[in-house]
Structures are given as structure tokens and as C-alpha cells.
Amino acid sequence: MVAASRVINDQHNPELTSSASLSGAHPDGLILVAESDLFRRERLVAALHDAGYRVVETEDGIGALAQIAETPPALVIAAARLSGIDGLSFIEHLRAQPATRHVTTILLTDDVSAANLAAAFRRGVDNRLPESPDISELLAHVWVRLERPPSPRVPLPTDERASVLDERVFRKPLDRELKRAARTGRPGCLAYLAIAEMPRLRERLGEQVQVDLVGQVAELIARDGRATDLVGRLPGGRFAVLLPETDAEGARHRLDVLQRRVMGQTFSAAGEQLRLTPACGFAMFAKGLGPDAIGDQAFLALDHALDQLDLQPVRYDLREHGLRLPAGEPTWRARLWRHARVPVQLALA
């Protein structure tokens, strides 16, 4: 039997429809949870519901087949040990139907033998998670599949030396994540990183050293990140890192690890082997914050980290860093240029 859908009330969430339209596989972003174990099914449905997704649930394979015939979902989360029709056979059925062959699937199973996993992927499984998955990991997989399209229709502008988004493109997912966090109450973080030695290195070795180092550092940041993290390049050789579904403790830990990775790496530029000191400031998502406001907060925290040469991530603190930039002060983007000490001609280019 197919249980009734648990759908967020659009009247209380006016942004739900526009956000859901970003889903890669289906305009409504509907998720089907097929799980025979009542406790596990209710746990999954509650977590997805609280994260702002539209969810329909079923307790067996027959009900799952009936549901997809009525309304094809954008994503299916199916237990391998599903009554009626097992989860793997159900997913194989999806792949055989023209209307559902492109639906994203996550199989819940504790069987991690290489042969069985290979067979599951050949039969149509996209992702595998444990029978009782970690909720944060599950939501991260769902976010990647529904809200971060794996193959954009047009190539995104990226830095030529590394797979990081340029400033203009980075702002779009930042704005989307801020709106989603305001709607669902889920945490998130925006961090800015800068290399403390960059101004002196530019003065001593020339402007090309920044180009070379930025490419290497950006590659390290992007490679070290989680699937849900996004990295953007800012003016002056700085970087922005977007951490969705991450609370303050998790953000501090993630950024601390990232700083240590950069400090432990030897970089090559202008014929020299260089060790770099990254500074990091970050701000947490909060209701009412838009991209500019949280950008100001992250910059103020980074400014403090650079001034103090703090080797740990600095979180924006209202009492310490102030509510906003002083009156008449240029925007955070202009301050990035000023702090980088670049010539006026370059800043105006």
C-alpha cells in the first residue's frame, strides 16, 4: 500500500516551488522512499520532509510500482530488502521504462561486496548507502542529485587553471542555498580564504606568481572538498568555499583541515619551492542574510584572520567584528583588492 505523501505546505513556504524547479530530474522534485521497515522508513521520510523535500513513501515493491505509474518521482530511495519486489529488481524495472529510466536511484544495503555492488550498478543503481544511513550523508547525496545538476546544460565559467567557479557563477548557488536554509532551517556556511604571503610574493616575484599559485591552491581546495562543497575564485587571489548542510562545528573542522592541507603542501612558482600560510574567515547562514550580507560577514572575519595571522578559521562574531562595514567604506570586493595591495590600474581593469 502506498502511504499518503508528506508535502510541505506551499502557503507557509512560498519559495518551495521555485526552488524545486531547480531539481535536475523532475520539476516537482518528488522523492519516493520504498522501505519495508517502519522505523527506518519514518526516519528517512521525516528527515527529507524537514529538509524541505516533497516525499511519498511505500512499504513494499508493489506499492512502489503503483506509485511510479501514477506520478514518476525525481529520485527513488529503495531498500534492497523490500517485500513484494526487492529493491534492486524495482530499480531495474525503473530503468526498463522510458518514462522512468532517467530517475536517480539510491539503494540502501549493507552488502558492500565488490561483485554485488558491481552487479547493482550494472542493473541501474546510482548510489549505495547503508540500510540505516547517516542522515547528513543521505541529505548530501539528495542535494547533489536534485539541486546541483551533475551535467549543466551550458558549461559554467571556471578558472582556467582549476575547476572553481568564477565570482558571478558562484553567487547563484550561494543565493539558492541561503534561500533553502531560510526555508528549512538547515545550517550552512560561507568561508573566504586568502594566502597571507601573497602580497610580498607578488612584490618580490611578479604578478605571474599569483596566477601560478592560485591555480595550484584552487586545485587542492577543490580536490579536498566534499561532493556538496562549491569553490569560487574572488578578486585578489582569494577563494570562497560554500559548505551546505554544515553546522558551525562541522564548518570549523572542515576549514581547519583545509588550512592544514594547504600549509602542509609545497607549491612551485617562479622557479622556487614555496610554503604558504592560508587565512580563513567564515560566516554561518542566518535568516535575512543575502549573498552580500553574508559576504560582508565572511570578509570581516577573513580581514581579522589576516590582521592577526590566525592559523585557525575565524568565525564572524557580531561583538568582535561589528554589524556591518563602516559608513563610506567600500564593498567587500573593493576591500579585497585593497588588502591585496594591487596597483590602481589593475584594480580598475
Residue type, 65: L
| Structure confidence at residue 226 as a pLDDT band (50, 70, 90) | low
Q: What are phi and psi of 244, to 5 degrees?
A: -70, 160
Query: What does the alpha-carbon distance between residue 80 and residue 91 come to, in Å, rounded to a whole number?
Result: 10
Residue range 45-69: mean pLDDT, rounded? 89
Residue type, 341: R
Q: Is the separation of the CB atoms in 274 and 200 below 8 Å?
A: no
Q: How far is CA 230 from the centre of its chain?
A: 5
What is residue 67's predicted lDDT score, i.e. its pLDDT? 86
- Identify how many contiguous H helices and E strands the chain contains and give both numbers: 14, 12
Q: What are phi and psi of 334, to 5 degrees?
A: -65, -35
In the chain, where are the structural domains located? 16-147, 167-348
The closest alpha carbon to 24, from 164, 195, 144, 194, belongs to: 144
CATH of segment(s) 16-147: 3.40.50.2300
Q: In the chain, which ranges are continuous DSSP H helix? A: 16-20, 38-50, 61-70, 87-96, 114-122, 135-147, 167-184, 198-205, 208-224, 248-263, 291-308, 318-321, 332-340, 344-348
The closest alpha carbon to 252, from 305, 205, 325, 178, belongs to: 305
Q: What is the pLDDT of residues 59-114, one digit of tens each?
A: 988 888 888 888 889 899 999 998 888 888 999 888 888 888 888 899 999 987 87
Q: Is the separation of the CB atoms in 10 and 57 below 8 Å?
A: no
Q: What is the pLDDT of residues 102-111, one digit of tens each?
A: 888 999 999 8
Q: What is the pLDDT of residues 235-267, one digit of tens each?
A: 777 889 999 888 999 899 989 988 888 888 898
The closest alpha carbon to 138, from 221, 48, 16, belongs to: 48
Place of cell 502557503: 11
Q: What is the pTM of this model?
A: 0.51
Topology of domain 167-348, CATH: Alpha-Beta Plaits (3.30.70)
- Helix 198-205 / helix 208-224 crossing angle, nearest 10 deg: 140
**SS3 of residue 269 by DSSP:** strand
**SS3 of residue 310 by DSSP:** coil
Give burial (CB, 10 Å; 0-12/13-18/19+) of 211.
middle
